[in-house]
Structure 1
Amino acid sequence: MIKNENEKLSPFHITVLVYMTQSGIVMFTLPRSLADFYGTNGWLFLFICFVISTFNIYLISLVYRLGKGRSIFEILESSIPKAVLYPVYFGMASVWSIFGCMIGKKYVLMFQMIAFPTTNPMVFKVGVDILLYLLLLKGIYNISKAATLFFWMTIWMYPLLLVFLPNFEWVRLTPFIFKGGHDMIKGGAEIYAAFLGYELSILFFPYVDKKKKAMLAIYAGNAFLTLIYFSLAIVCFGFFSLGQLKKLLFPLIDLLALIHFPFVERLENLLFGFFLFLILITVVMYIWAGLEAVTRITPKAKSPLFIFITVLVTFCIAIIPKTIDQVNAWITNLGYVVTGIGFGLPIILIIVLLIQGKGRESHA
């Protein structure tokens, strides 16, 4: 693996990496979910998700400050026997890796359905996993540089939302808030999954320059993602009626299909292809996080052979669900666990650090 111990993640790299990890497959269905579960002006729920995710990032920043930038694994292993931690590491690695591979599987199913309906979707999954393997070989610093490149390759798509402003009608937003929704608690958990990805920043501690404002960069990435989600959601709520939004399977793709240029046909297929770069970074980061956890069990986890085996295993697991509905069920259930890890792990680390601090004071 190509690795330079002197290279550190800059605040800009962290911001882009957090944003690229968060912005994934949920973007295609987010407006419909907001309309379905929260009804009129459902886009306002995004601000609730932003507050919750910001609080979670605050917990992560507390761990960073109390632990003085130490790796979370070092913090845990200094107080808890490794024999107890190994099953925990393996569990986290499994959840993160499978969650990432299911996100990739959903993208290839959508791509197959839109562009190549007669082709086996696993053919596309092979192509995605080859890119995944090559990125994982390079390590987190080079992944962040690739994420920055992909960021500049995709960010130009969002101004296309301005095309729909002439047909935007404020009356479609209505003065009512959260009317016509259902299962708000369950729906809220599913919609919150659109923000997941920032929690992996807790693994960045050994890779950041401690003289930089690394934690502020995580806040910035999350805030930028919220701005993108807000823009997309409010355009959809003002362009489509509430009834239309509830019926559209992929509102974002329906929006893209309405953009016409004289020199390009089926522009939505081209633009959908660019979203591969966003999905790829999301998948890479979750499997990278899994490898980071397994590395504490065996140092060989970062070898090319072990990475290849990991990608192969996740590919085999991705074969199990055959339809988008089945993949959605996997993503939803795993999303609950990932959310639990995202909140539970920083809380446990804070408790451990406070106990360690009291222990040092007593010893002194």
Structure 2
Amino acid sequence: MQQKISPFHIAVLTYMAQAGMVLFTLPRSLADYFGTNGWLVLIPCFLLSSFNIWLITLVFRLGQGRSVFVILEQSVPKVVLYPFYLLLAGTWLIFGCLIGKKYVLVFQMLSFPSTNPMVFKLAIDLLAFFLLIKGIYSISKAATLFFWMTAWMILLLVWFIPSFRWERFTPFLLQGGHDQVKGAIEVYSAFLGYELSFFLFPYVKKNKKSMLAIYAGNLFLMLNYLGLTLICFGFFSLGQIKKLLYPVLDLLAYIQFPFVERLENLLYGFFLFLILITVVMYWWAAQITVQRMVPKLNAKILLFILVFIAYGSSFIPKTLDQVDVWITNSGYAVTAIAFCLPMLLIVVLLFQRKEGATHG
């Protein structure tokens, strides 16, 4: 009997796939694009992501837990699907690569300004490769271990409660912002990652708990984002948040102990575990998509080729500004996939059901 991923591990995988580098800039994005009480925008973004997850669960129910690839290939010729598969795999491969590259550049800026960032990027890519060759079950166990190693950090927010001031929120709502449509898409990208649960269908039990676990992971992420942004909006003034490049790092810099200097550098190191699982999940989705086109190719060889391509492409954007532009543009594509793929699958499944009823 094939091993199945438990609902708890599904929830952890969902959360870990979602929590990426956007965490460090989220308060600034909310303040800059939406102005006063911009943290409120998290609520509609959460509801929208929950609706998107509902579409995914609908696919799971209509398709009776079948693989995304099986559903598509029952109605569409493989030759027609291959360009689509390449588009999906390429988008996820590059998006995961960029998330890792941004983490590396910030890490270099904080701790090793004279070191070539591509050395650190190579180390992260090798870690991701060794996780990927173990398969999704080992990835889920590693994600759970990393979850317990990082989940405690949310308790650090208690440190800032004495300096928290409600009057910094002001009674005005969403005033002083700009480009709110662009800002909404950028903020929504903070929730991306749940769409990768599509590819967990063959590895989970066919019951409601498996799908509810995706909602649970998304909810836990929302609570983390909400707690973090509320603390930032109550700790800094609106003007300060807009000027800070990485408000969360500046927040962590206020935590001081007599026996540790520059604690934010140490704490930033813990975020590697979150970033690593995010990268691994996007690359795993890319791997199984490409594997569908070349099923006879050895999985380790395929992974080596994909990681090599990702590492090579990470040389192109050299600065943080360039990486941010790439992430923004690829984020649009990932967001479009997150909404369009489930709707496409629902249409295909309804067509299959109608065709089956006609033949029946």
Same fold (TM over 0.5): yes
Aligned equivalent of 2:291: 295
> What amino acid sits opposite 1:134 in the alignment?
F
Contact 1:291 1:302 in 2 (8 A): no
Asked whether 1:316 is paired with 2:315, we answer: no
> What amino acid sits opposite 1:156 in the alignment?
W
- For 1:139-154, list aligned pairs within 5 A: 139-154=135-150
Asked whether 1:81 is paired with 2:77, we answer: yes
Offset, 1:302: 5.6
Asked whether 1:32 is paired with 2:28, we answer: yes
Asked whether 1:218 is paired with 2:231, we answer: no
Which of 264, 271, 292 is matched with 1:268 structurally? Answer: 264
Aligned equivalent of 1:130: 126
Between the aligned partners of 1:8 and 1:56, the Cα distance in structure 2 is 24
Identical columns (%):
64
1:249 match: secondary structure:
coil
Aligned equivalent of 2:229: 233
Between the aligned partners of 1:18 and 1:260, the Cα distance in structure 2 is 32
Offset, 1:292: 1.2
- For 1:33-112, list aligned pairs within 5 A: 33-112=29-108
1:299 match: secondary structure:
coil
Between the aligned partners of 2:208 and 2:342, the Cα distance in structure 1 is 21
Asked whether 1:351 is paired with 2:360, we answer: no
Q: Can you list the C-alpha shifts for 1:285-313, whole angstroms capped at 9, x where unaligned?
A: 00100011111101145621221111111
My pick for the range that moved more, 136-145 or 296-305, is: 296-305
Between the aligned partners of 1:31 and 1:302, the Cα distance in structure 2 is 44
Q: How has the CA–CA distance of structure 1 residues 105 and 59 changed in structure 2, closer, same or farther, with 3 Å as cutoff? A: same
Which of 243, 254, 261 is matched with 1:258 structurally? Answer: 254
2:3 match: secondary structure:
coil
- In structure 1, list runs of 5 or more residues that go unmatched: none
Offset, 1:263: 1.5
Q: Name the TM-score, length of structure 2 as normaliser.
A: 0.99
Between the aligned partners of 2:32 and 2:3, the Cα distance in structure 1 is 46
Q: Structure 1 residue runs of 4+, over 3 Å off? A: none
Contact 1:135 1:284 in 2 (8 A): yes
Contact 1:294 1:301 in 2 (8 A): no
Offset, 1:92: 0.3
Which of 238, 242, 246 is matched with 1:242 structurally? Answer: 238
Aligned equivalent of 2:276: 280
Offset, 1:211: 3.9
2:312 match: secondary structure:
helix
Aligned equivalent of 1:170: 166
Aligned equivalent of 1:201: 197
- In structure 2, list runs of 5 or more residues that go unmatched: none
RMSD of equivalent CA atoms: 0.9
> What amino acid sits opposite 1:273 in the alignment?
G
Aligned equivalent of 1:180: 176
Aligned equivalent of 1:19: 15
Offset, 1:84: 0.3
> What amino acid sits opposite 2:6 in the alignment?
S
Between the aligned partners of 1:7 and 1:362, the Cα distance in structure 2 is 36
Q: Can you list the C-alpha shifts for 1:297-346, whole angstroms capped at 9, x where unaligned?
A: 01145621221111111000001000011001111000101011110000
Q: How has the CA–CA distance of structure 1 residues 176 and 321 changed in structure 2, closer, same or farther, with 3 Å as cutoff? A: same
Between the aligned partners of 1:324 and 1:165, the Cα distance in structure 2 is 32
2:135 match: secondary structure:
helix
Between the aligned partners of 2:89 and 2:201, the Cα distance in structure 1 is 18
Contact 1:301 1:307 in 2 (8 A): no
Q: Can you list the C-alpha shifts for 1:89-140, whole angstroms capped at 9, x where unaligned?
A: 0110000000000000000000000111111100100110110100000111
Between the aligned partners of 1:328 and 1:199, the Cα distance in structure 2 is 22
Contact 2:65 2:201 in 1 (8 A): yes
Q: Name the TM-score, length of structure 1 as normaliser.
A: 0.98
